Structure 1
Amino acid sequence: MTRTSSRAHGAALLGAAALLALTGCTSYVSRGIDNDGKAAELVWPGADRQQTWQTEGSFPNRDNLRAISPGATKDQLYALIGRPHFDEGMAAVREWDYVFHFPSGGAVTSCRYKVIFDTNYKARGFHWNPAICAELVKKG
């Protein structure tokens, strides 16, 4: 093997190893996410199980939440509601999770919000836990 072909072979092996490493770092919290961004089973990450970026959650702008629609890009979501609060992976991440708080009736209601992306990384699925939280967004 020549020195040039040895370098090329080494670079190819290194590239393959890096790709495998990134693939190993990719994770989905929910199960059975199809190409269209639908999950067979929603799974909500817990602070004890996933690294959180923002453990305390946030108080989102309700108008910004109402502006989110199917087809939104990750950049558009980032501009409207910020980065996801959990670390779902490093590459090929197809779901983002948030913890939002809403003042209501003199108390604060905490809600989980999940966005699931299709294979083109366009937002397709929007889920609230508990489901009543969707009504809090509409009221505000």
Structure 2
Amino acid sequence: MPWLKVFHFAALIVWCGLLLYLPVLVRAAWAPQDADEDRLHARLARLLFIGISTPAALLAIASGTVLFVREDVVQLWLVAKLTAVAGMVCCHAGCGALILKVERAPPPPLGLRRRASACGLGAAVFIGLTLWLVLAKPFQ
């Protein structure tokens, strides 16, 4: 069981780190630069999203599910935590949509840059909320 928790934490660290980094990388791809640098940012964002972030998210969610099923934990704080994790999943999907827009289009209008910032800010809020819910377990 301790190894499963270590595995879960490691996957979470990778996923959360990339949830915070990907919106910054997407914004960098939209900054006025050479076309070669734009393509480099877009390819790097796609590689990180598909190759590292998504598998880490799936592993974190799967290992977390095994942990709470095995320990038979069903409490209000767990429902709140899973809601916060669902918010992280929405930010993850939002990053994926933004990466697709970067790959397909020339630099977009300001509104799409704001979406990247909102995605990063939302991820930070949901990560912080999840961490607080796990550490404080406020509804026990």
Please, what TM-score do these two structures have when normalized by structure 2? 0.29
Which of the pair has more CA radius of gyration? Answer: 1
User: Which of the pair is proportionally richer in strand?
Assistant: 1
TM-score using structure 1 length? 0.29
